Every structure is written in structure tokens, then in C-alpha cells.
Chain A
Amino acid sequence: MGWFTKLINSSLGRKLLMSLTGLFLITFLVIHLIGNTAIFKGDDGLAFNAYAKFMSTNPLIHTVSYLLYAGIILHVIIAITLYFRNKSSRPVGYDKLNARANSSWESRNMTLLGLLILAFLFIHLKDFWWQYKYHGGYEFQIDADGNRDIYALVIEQFKTPFALVSYLIGLIALFFHLKHGFWSAFQTLGLDHKKYTPLIKALGLLYAILVPLGFASMPVYVYFFK
């Protein structure tokens, strides 16, 4: 095990974990987005409620969900350790710094963007996950199929301007985080190739635009058109 502790204590090992947890979260977001599109079905939430029930009761998904919690926590904890390590590597800063000349804003502000996403996650989990799984105080109705009506809760929440604004801020942060993070995760893994790296970069940009846009469409749809 010596090699393992050495690996995860090294700067490269920490980055390896950032990359792997980041890619895991990226995969999760696609599945989460596809499932959530049930909200647009126009069946008063029957499909959406059935999907929510499936996600919270299926044993396989149940196991994966614990992996997901661990992944997020690990990603955040390592992000914070890296932040402090990186800060301490330059105790005296520059008086005049032209960072724009050599790097993108999002690449220099991954921690800030991550913290915005984290703040959004707290709001998001408190609103739905906490209510649905841990009975946070909201009285669920039962829909026509006998499932708890989380759809009604989603509609109610998304009708508030606070939800709309916090979701949009969180998703804009996600866009910037992934605009840099998607390719960065491959670079960290050492997956670099003359032919495929431009492809990964293009795919990363596409992902960073489409996934947050997809998520944003839900509160926007409910707030303005429902």
C-alpha cells in the first residue's frame, strides 16, 4: 500500500482523484438530465413521479448513489486541499499581473466556480432530495398512479423567483467549470493525442453548453410557461 499513499499524497495523485471524480460527476449529470426530461411530458407528472420512485428504490441505483455522494465529497475536499497548497506556493504576489494574456478566466477560478456549484447543490438537495428521501417537512400528495407527487413540489418550487435565479447562477457556474474542466480531466489523466485532443476539447465545449442549458430549461419552462 506504500505506493498508494504516496500516490494520493502527491500533487499529481490529488489531481488524478479530481479528474476521476469530475468525470464521474460528468457522467452522472447526463443521466440525471435525461431522466429529468420526463418533466416535459405533459402528463401532470405521472412519468416524472414514476422515475423519481424508480431512482430512489432500485437497489443498483441506490448503491451508485452512495458512490455519487462519496465522489462529490472527495472532489470538494481535494479541491480545498489543492486550493490551500496552491495559495501557499506563492506567498508574495505580483503588484502588476496580466493573467488574461496567458490563460482563461475559468481555468484560474475553478475553486470559485466549484463553490458556486456547491452552494447551488445545497439549495437543490434541500428542496427535493431532502424532502423526498428524508421527509423534510413537505406533505406529498399521491398521484393517479399511486406514487408520491414530487412533480407538484418541483412546480411549486420553480414558480419562485429565488429558485429561478439560484438555478441560473449555479448552471452558469457549471458551464464555466466544465468549459475548462472537461478537457482538463483528460489532460490530467495523461490522455493527450494529436488527433483526439481537439475532438475532446470540442466535445467538452458542447457538453458544457448543452447540459447546463438542458437543466436550465426546466426552471425556465416552469416559471414562464406553466
Chain B
Amino acid sequence: MEKERNYTLKIWRQPNAQSKGEFKTYEVKNISTGTSFLEMLDILNEELTLKGEDPVYFDHDCREGICGMCSLFINGRPHGPDEEVTVCQMHMRMFEDGSTITIEPWRARAFPVIKDLVVDRSAFDRIIQAGGFISVNTGVTTDANAILISKENADLAMDAAACIGCGACVAACKNASAMLFVSAKVSQLALLPQGQSERKRRALAMVEQMDKEGFGACTNTGACSAECPKGIDLSNIARLNREYFTASVS
């Protein structure tokens, strides 16, 4: 067993959307290396609660890397230093004993802070509502193999569908651009037969909503894909550009 570690936490505290907010410093002690990052925050919050202080608010739900709720900007990177991992799946062994860990909320005009480290990501929901769906009649489930799909497209669509909507791409981008998210959501449907009938309308409507929400434009820095916990590829952004331009002129 490796010895337990101690950390200094520098955490953004902000009582509500209107207030200014500031960093507060906390000490956590005797954290085992196998503790997950969120469990470490649970330990801190337990102590704060026992002392009668307001616990640190942060988003989380599944804690197994599939829901996209956890959203912490740790030591200058969304989801922290580990590669292709959400913060809920990252362990404290990633952080040296005695080090200071800075924890901030996602920063974007389109993601306003609600409280402490919790931000409002409903802008993503509105982008999906604008066109990130297919219209099908409900009824009996159809045979999954009735429509033939090439292996290549099926794989690409599945890769795009891995996006969990966490917003790390926006948080990482110097322009707070949502292009990687939108491109994944457009791609997963554009690549499949079921997505064809609404294909053009979808690309136009989702980009329009993305712009309206106040996300920045894409400079192709690649920060989004490098920080994406699901490894969504930049080729999706190229596909979104194609989808949007062809939909615009046709």
C-alpha cells in the first residue's frame, strides 16, 4: 500500500449566478491513491458540513463516465490531467503528494455559473432540440438488421455517438466553441439512413442555435478533441462543415 496523500485545494466558490465569486483554499488529508477525484471532494464536503460550512457544489451523477454531468476544470485542463477520462473516473494517484490542485468551473458565456463549480449547460439541450433528433413513428420495434449499413459508417456513427455532452470541448477551446459537440451530434445521424430525411434542416438549425447561444467560432486548434473524455475526432468537425455548406447552397 502506498501511503496516503495530502493536498491543498484552491476551489472557486460562488454563492449564486449574480454574485462575484472567489477562490477559497482548503486542506484535505490522508487521501488514499485509489480515491476518485469526486470521492476526494465528498470527503472535503463531509468535513465542511460537520463544521457547519456550505459544502462545495459540483455536478455529478453516474460516476462511471457515461452521463456527462461531472465537469471540473482541474489544474488548467477540463477533466484534469488524465487522458480520455471523465473527472469521475480519475483517481488521486494522478496528483502528487503535497501538491496544490486548482478547481474551476467550465468558463463560457453560454455556460453561466449557477453555484460554485456547477454551470448551466442547457444551451446544449437547446441545440439538440433544434435538430439533434430523428422523427419516427412509435409502435412495434423494427428489426435491427432490416436496414443495411456499411461497417465503416456504422463505426463512425458509433464513435460520434460516444459523446456524452459534458462540455469539456467548450471548456478547453480558447473560443469556447461548441463545434466538437455539435459535429458529433450531427455526424451520428448524418452517417445513418435513419438520419437522412432531416439531414439538411438539422445541420442548418443546430449551427444556427449554436451561434445564438453565444459559443465562439472554430479555429481548428484541436484542444476540444485532445481534452474530450470520449476521444471524439476532429474529422467530425470537417463533416459538420461539409454538412452545413452543402445544406446552405442546396
Bind each other: yes
Chain A residues in contact with chain B, CB under 8 A?
A: 3, 6-7, 10-16, 82, 85-86, 88-99, 101-104, 107-108, 110, 180, 183-184, 187-192, 197
By DSSP majority rule, is chain A's interface helix, strand, loop, or mixed?
A: helix
B218 contacts across to A, CB distance below 8 A = 11-12, 15, 188
Cβ of B65 under 8 Å from chain A: no
Contact with A192, one of B12, B108, B211, B238 (Cβ below 8 angstroms): B238
Is there contact, CB below 8 Å, between A192 and B220?
no
A89 contacts across to B, CB distance below 8 A = 108-110, 175-177, 214-216
Are A11 and B211 CB-contacts (below 8 A) given A98-B75, A102-B223? Answer: yes
Q: How far is the CB of B248 from chain A (nearest CB, A)?
A: 5
B107 contacts across to A, CB distance below 8 A = 90, 92-94
* Nearest-neighbor residue (CB-CB) of B226 within chain A: A102
Are A102 and B77 CB-contacts (below 8 A) given A82-B217, A96-B104? Answer: yes
Q: How far is the CB of B175 from chain A (nearest CB, A)?
A: 4
Is there contact, CB below 8 Å, between A190 and B172?
no
* Nearest-neighbor residue (CB-CB) of A12 within chain B: B244
Are A12 and B207 CB-contacts (below 8 A) given A86-B175, A89-B214? Answer: yes
B216 contacts across to A, CB distance below 8 A = 11, 85-86, 89-90
CA distance A92 to B220 in the complex (A): 22
**CB contact list, B71-113 vs A, under 8 A:** 73, 75-77, 81, 102, 104, 107-110
Is there contact, CB below 8 Å, between B219 and A107?
yes
* Nearest-neighbor residue (CB-CB) of A78 within chain B: B217
Is there contact, CB below 8 Å, between A86 and B217?
yes
CA distance A183 to B215 in the complex (A): 23
Q: How far is the CB of B84 from chain A (nearest CB, A)?
A: 12
Q: How far is the CB of A86 from chain B (nearest CB, A)?
A: 4
Are A190 and B242 CB-contacts (below 8 A) given A98-B77, A103-B221? Answer: yes
Is there contact, CB below 8 Å, between B226 and A188?
no
B5 contacts across to A, CB distance below 8 A = none
Is there contact, CB below 8 Å, between B238 and A86?
no
Q: How far is the CB of A27 from chain B (nearest CB, A)?
A: 20
Cβ of B194 under 8 Å from chain A: no
CA distance A183 to B219 in the complex (A): 11
Are A99 and B248 CB-contacts (below 8 A) given A10-B208, A12-B241, A184-B219? Answer: no
Are A189 and B241 CB-contacts (below 8 A) given A11-B218, A94-B73? Answer: yes
Q: How far is the CB of A219 from chain B (nearest CB, A)?
A: 31
* Nearest-neighbor residue (CB-CB) of B215 within chain A: A89
Cβ of B237 under 8 Å from chain A: yes
Contact with B238, one of A16, A93, A96, A191 (Cβ below 8 angstroms): A191
Contact with B226, one of A6, A85, A88, A101 (Cβ below 8 angstroms): A101
Is there contact, CB below 8 Å, between A107 and B222?
yes
Are A96 and B241 CB-contacts (below 8 A) given A85-B217, A89-B215, A184-B220? Answer: no
Contact with B235, one of A14, A97, A192 (Cβ below 8 angstroms): A192
Is there contact, CB below 8 Å, between A103 and B241?
no
A99 contacts across to B, CB distance below 8 A = 76, 174, 223
Can you list, as one digit per residue, whether each of B148-186 has a CB less than 8 Å from chain A (1) or not (0)? 000000000000000000000000101111000000000
25 example contacts (A-B, Cβ-Cβ < 8 A) are as follows: A3-B248, A12-B241, A12-B244, A12-B245, A86-B175, A86-B176, A86-B219, A89-B109, A89-B176, A89-B177, A90-B216, A91-B109, A93-B107, A95-B12, A99-B76, A102-B172, A102-B222, A107-B219, A108-B174, A180-B220, A189-B241, A190-B238, A190-B242, A190-B245, A192-B238
